[in-house]
Amino acid sequence: MKNIVLGILAHVDAGKTTLTESMLYLSGAIRKYGRVDHGDAFLDYNNQERDRGITIFSKQAVFEYNDCKITLIDTPGHVDFSTEMERTLQVLDYAILVINGLDGVQAHSETIWHLLKHYQIPTFVFVNKMDISLKDKHELMEDLKNNFSEQCYDFDNIDTDFFENVALNSENLLDYYLKHQTLEDNMLVDEIAKRNIFPVYFGSALKMSGIEHFLGQFTKYIATKEYPEDFGARVYKISHDDQGNRLTHLKITGGLLKVKSLI
C-alpha cells in the first residue's frame, strides 16, 4: 500500500476545504458531506473558522483510496495565516494546489507555487469551480503555463499530443516515445516525483464533478517516498487540547515511535 502525506493549498476562496471534504466523502472516511457555507465541513470544527467560513489552522485527516493511505493536511488559504500553512510544507510528500476557475492564478497562488518549488514538493493542480467559471480550459491552461510552469499539462486529456509534449522533457522519454508512440505510467510517476511535470485537472468540488476521476488519477500517479530505518521525525505544529495539554504534531520519517519512548 502506498503511504504519503498530502497537503491541500490554495488562495482563499478557491474551494480548498470543499475539495478536501469531497475527497474524504468519496473515500468513505466520512459519511456526511458537509459544506463550508453551512458550517458543518469535517475539518472546519473550530468555532472561529465556522463563523468566518475560512480555514485558520492546519488540520489533518486520514483516508484510504485505491490501495493508498493518505494523511491529508488542510492548510489556511488566507494570506494572514500563511505562516500556519508554511509550517506544514516540510512534512509533505505531495501537494495539491487548488486554483479558482473564476479568477485563475492569484498573487498568493504564485507565492505558494514558489514555496512548493523551494521545498521541492511534487505538485498536482486542481482547477475548481468550473461549473460557474467563464474561462475555458485552454485559457486557464495558458494562465497556468505563463504564471507557474510550461510543464503544466492537462491530464484530463491524455492523447497522442499529450505524450509527445511530455516526452520533450527528456531524451530518455523522447527515445521511448519515438519507439512506442506512448509513455508508461511509471514514467509519468517518476517525472511527477522529480517535479519535471505538473498534472492539471478540472472540476467542481461543490458539485462533486470530476472529483472521483481526479482522486483515481492522483492515487495512480503518486509513489511512496523511501526513508531511512533509523528513527527520525519532523515537528510541524504545536497545539493544545481542551484541558490545556500540549500536543506535538510530527511526521515520522524513519524507524518506529512507541508509547513512552524518549526522544
Any idea which architecture 2-226 has in CATH? Answer: 3-Layer(aba) Sandwich (3.40)
Query: Virtual CA dihedral for 128, 74, 86, 57, nearest 10 degrees?
Result: 120
Mean pLDDT, to the nearest integer, of 220-236? 82
Q: In one letter, which amino acid is 26? A: L
Provide the pLDDT confidence category of residue 235 given band limits of 50, 70 and 90: confident
Give the model confidence (pLDDT) of 23-81 as tens digits.
999 999 999 888 877 777 777 655 554 454 455 556 688 999 999 999 999 876 555 55
Write out the DSSP string of 82-125: HHHHHHHGGG-SEEEEEEETTTBS-HHHHHHHHHHHHTT--EEE
> Cβ distance 72 to 6 under 8 Å?
yes
The whole-chain average pLDDT of the chain stands at 86
Domain with CATH 3.40.50.300 in the chain: 2-226
- Phi and psi (nearest 5°) for 47? -60, -40
Whether 256 shows a pLDDT value over 50: the answer reads yes
pTM tops 0.85: yes
Enter the C-alpha cell of residue 49: 473558522
What is residue 117's predicted lDDT score, i.e. its pLDDT?
96
Enter the C-alpha cell of residue 95: 501537494
What is residue 48's predicted lDDT score, i.e. its pLDDT?
52
Whether 140 shows a pLDDT value over 60: the answer reads yes
Mean pLDDT, to the nearest integer, of 96-115? 94
